[in-house]
Amino acid sequence: MATFVDRVKLHVVAGSGGHGAASIRREKFKPLAGPDGANGGRGGDVILEVDASTTTLLPYHHKPHQKASSGDFGKGDLRHGGRGEDLVLPVPDGTVITTEDGTVLADMTGIGTRFIAARGGSGGLGNAALASRHRKAPGFALLGEPGQERTLILELKSVADVALVGYPSAGKSSLIAAMSAARPKIADYPFTTLVPNLGVVEAGEYRYTVADVPGLIPGASQGKGLGLDFLRHIERCHVIVHVLDTAALESDRDPLSDLETIESELSEYAAGLDEPGEGRVPLMDRPTVVVLNKTDVPDGADMADMVRERLAERDVPVLDVSAVSHKGLRELSFVLGELVEKARASLPEPSSAPIVITPDAVDETDFRVVTEQFEGATAWRVVGDKPERWVRQTDFTNDEAVGYLADRLARLGVEQELYSAGAVAGSTVLIGPDDDAVVFDWEPTMMGGAELLGRRGTDKRLEDHHRPTREEKREQQRARTDARLGRLAAMEEERRAGHWADPAVDEDSSS
């Protein structure tokens, strides 16, 4: 059973937001006291956090699907829904997070470093939040948004100061076991080490970590053997130690050819890496130490004497050691400690990343309308964050909620844009990307004077909320007074002209 995993595919789903509530407050003597539906709670985030006690990605190899909890629904009496609990997933120091296409999202180094892998959905608004002067008692609420869903690739790159590289059975595991408290598996056959081993070395005032990278063979940079799986573990090291087997049993091998082969594989692997980070030296330019191992064996000592002069031409430290008899290990530990200390001193001071604020472009539109073929006919698709979010928040079983959506789309200018794109009444309109779009048979509201209507349930032609000024009121009063005086003058003129009958005379004549 595997105990170490350094690459996994992780599917994360954030929590969905809770739905808003549509409720009406009821009190004594006030059966309809106004809306009191509260908002739904926000869904929980999925967060990756560097944890000191985590050294492998094995838990996510067994459980690749992780989901955060959703927010609670809103309730009446303005009781807002609770927020969903965040799901914090511990990862080892040195984990690199990428998308499936290889785009790097985060490089997790440093205990406590966090990365939000998936954001929770927003909670829906209750009808209390939707109430306004024109819409005093909404009979609907907005739905909560679904949480973000992503597929990520997690790769572990060991954070070690020194990397031991070499052919299988070169004695790397024995060397790290002799220099530190690490106890890797050791045997007399190739590829004994199947996972990188880390050990802490203390030499005087020096303290550093050493990584034992599984054995490399020709073609490792193209995926042969175990090299391609574990070469990533040397990317962060400060010093590279070539462990050469001076007592190899194969007749076609010698320390010089082994060194050239491993350097060639490292060079090919380094060529495929991105540019080194700030203050990080390119892989092939980092300090190198050559270790001639197994010199306690007579054949090994003779081979070391034969190649030492050739190796000295490389102008790198060359040391004779033996992991069994501990020959030369003290000197090696101090040499590595000095090189690591120099490399650490050359690194820039750690600083927090600047906060970058990217405002939206002034001329950036909230949506766009594209024409495409849908089920053999021409359709118009509305693509944009706002329309797509509004559609997700709409309860299509509630006619008032659908009307509210239509009003929002009309105010945003979607209808005008559809007209400009050539859509007519009855055209197929899709809102949203790909197969998750909502399909409508478009019924424009901008027909037959409907463009004069205001919010749903109101009519600008019947409602005039203009408040006249004091001067306008005086002018209206003067106009009414002048009209009244004019009517009285006309009646007086008609009376003098005899156009009016005297009631007393009419009654006498009738008798």
- Token pair, residue 135, equals 């819409």
192 is in an annotated binding site: yes
139 is in an annotated binding site: no
194 is in an annotated binding site: yes
191 is in an annotated binding site: yes
Query: Quick check: 324 and 296 in contact, CB under 8 A?
Result: yes
312 is in an annotated binding site: no
2 is in an annotated binding site: no
168 is in an annotated binding site: yes
Q: Work out whether strand 65-67 and strand 7-13 pair parallel, antiparallel, or are unpaired.
A: parallel
Query: Quick check: 239 and 288 in contact, CB under 8 A?
Result: yes
φ, ψ (nearest 5 deg) of residue 243: -95, 115
110 is in an annotated binding site: no
Query: Quick check: 128 and 78 in contact, CB under 8 A?
Result: yes
Which residue spans within 400-458 are E strands per DSSP?
428-431, 438-441
In order of 127, 471, 472, the CA distances from 467 in angstroms are 30, 12, 10
195 is in an annotated binding site: yes
212 is in an annotated binding site: yes
170 is in an annotated binding site: yes
104 is in an annotated binding site: no
Residue that is written with structure tokens 């030296």 in the block: 281
In order of 167, 221, 259, 330, the CA distances from 231 in angstroms are 13, 8, 16, 27
172 is in an annotated binding site: yes
φ, ψ (nearest 5 deg) of residue 269: -70, -40
Provide the 8-state DSSP code for 167. Answer: S
In order of 61, 317, 344, 433, the CA distances from 493 in angstroms are 106, 130, 113, 79
Q: Would residue 69 be called left, alpha or beta, if left means φ above 0 and alpha means ψ between -120 and 50 degrees?
A: beta
193 is in an annotated binding site: yes
Q: Work out whether strand 239-245 and strand 206-212 pair parallel, antiparallel, or are unpaired.
A: unpaired
Q: Work out whether strand 7-13 and strand 438-441 pair parallel, antiparallel, or are unpaired.
A: unpaired
Binding site, annotated residues for Mg(2+) = 173, 193
Binding site, annotated residues = 166-173, 191-195, 212-215, 293-296, 322-324
Binding site, annotated residues for GTP = 166-173, 191-195, 212-215, 293-296, 322-324
